[in-house]
Amino acid sequence: MTNSLNRRKFLRGTAVAGAATLAAPALADGHGTTLKMQAAWGGGIFLENAQSFAARVNEMSGGSLTIEVLSVDSVVKTSQMQDAVHRGVLDAAHYVPAYWYGKSKATSLFGTGPCFGWSSQEVLGWVYAGGGQELFDELMDSLRLNVVSFFNSPMPAQPLGWFKNQITDASQMEGLKYRTVGLAADVMLEMGMSVVQLPGGEIQPAMKSGLIDAAEFNNPTSDRDFGMQDVAKNYMLASYHQSQEFFEVTINKDKFNALSDEHKAIIKNASMAENSGFYWGNTKRYSDDLIKLQEADGVAVHRTPTSVMEAQLVAWDAVANRIAEDDPFFAKVMESQKTYAKEVMGYLNLNQPDYKLAYDHYFS
């Protein structure tokens, strides 16, 4: 009963308290400007990440600009957050682009697109230094969305997920009822899976009831908080379905433009600083919780076989090329990414030593 209550608290967070705070004015008691930012997270490490970004802004501004974080569903449902920011119902939102790719599949290329041999770090490099931000702004203008967005927090590749039985070959994926979101859903469908798109809080109950056979969310820490170890004991790590992803902080454009140049710069630089803070902190938490899953929860951890990842690449080609044929902007973004990845990863692949060789030398 205690675990059930704790998980319910994790999923729901403090929505009631958050909704009450929204009534406060945007200008906070004469001490500066306050932006209300609803997160897509009700608790757990991702809500902590949203709070960390807000804390950076608050500290860097000396209190003259405050971002107040509201947890999931405080004001609107997660699926409505972008529209709420556009209309000014929310000042800002903290989520991932895959949550609103229904407006344009090109949004999935900003964090959950095909793997061109790069990680989240290099995709963010493309955003900051390879023309990605400009393409995203162009997309927002074409959709007539009154928002500006900042990207941060490069996530490690997401595990293939939780399965009742270990996956040793791509043929075992055929026909499985599997949970994922965004463009990854199209990829898994292409591989012959039956895909169900569910919000995070519904994954564990769906697998427990048999609605789905297998599922992924994001990382060992969040997965353990959801209680996935109670409904499956085989955890498959490594996958191309969402091999790179990061957070998006969306702000109402009118409210952002009304800020001083100093406050605009603080938000931009706090977002960039969060890239390092997230990666350092989260990878340590993920590795700690992976050990707990194995040693305390009896989970068998496996690396996804090469045959599955090869099949994913073939599926990505089919899905991405099919969309690009009908969507010139999607094709334009993908071509920009390929150009960047070919150059940057060409250098990195030649220059980086084999880190696994060194790891095995000391720890195997």
Least confident of 6-20, 141-155, 199-213: 6-20
Token pair belonging to 342: 């070919």
Residue-number span of the structural domain to which 66 is assigned: 2-156+244-285
pTM for the complete prediction? 0.88
**Residue 295: inside a domain:** no
Q: What is the arithmetic mean of pLDDT over 156-165?
A: 96
Residue 44 CA to its chain's centroid (Å): 14
**Residue 260: inside a domain:** yes
**Has residue 75 got a pLDDT over 70?**
yes
**Residue 122: inside a domain:** yes
Count of domains in the chain?
1
Q: How many angstroms separate the Cα of 277 from the Cα of each of 137, 178, 210, 280, 319?
A: 25, 32, 38, 5, 34
**Residue 44: inside a domain:** yes
**Has residue 31 got a pLDDT over 70?**
no
**Residue 338: inside a domain:** no
In the chain, % of residues over pLDDT 90? 84
Provide the terminal-to-terminal Cα distance of the chain, rounded to the nearest Å.
40
DSSP 33: E
Model confidence at 164, in pLDDT bands (50, 70, 90)?
Answer: very high
Q: What is the arithmetic mean of pLDDT over 131-149?
A: 96
Distance CA 45, CA 247 (A): 13
**Residue 77: inside a domain:** yes
**Residue 79: inside a domain:** yes
Q: What is the arithmetic mean of pLDDT over 46-58?
A: 97
pLDDT score recorded for residue 15: 36
Distance CA 77, CA 59 (A): 29
- Read off the CATH number of the domain in which 26 is found: 3.40.190.170
Least confident of 5-19, 122-136, 299-313: 5-19
Q: What order of strands is seen across the sheet that includes strand 177-179?
A: 194-196, 177-179, 214-215, 161-163, 234-237, 300-303
**Residue 220: inside a domain:** no
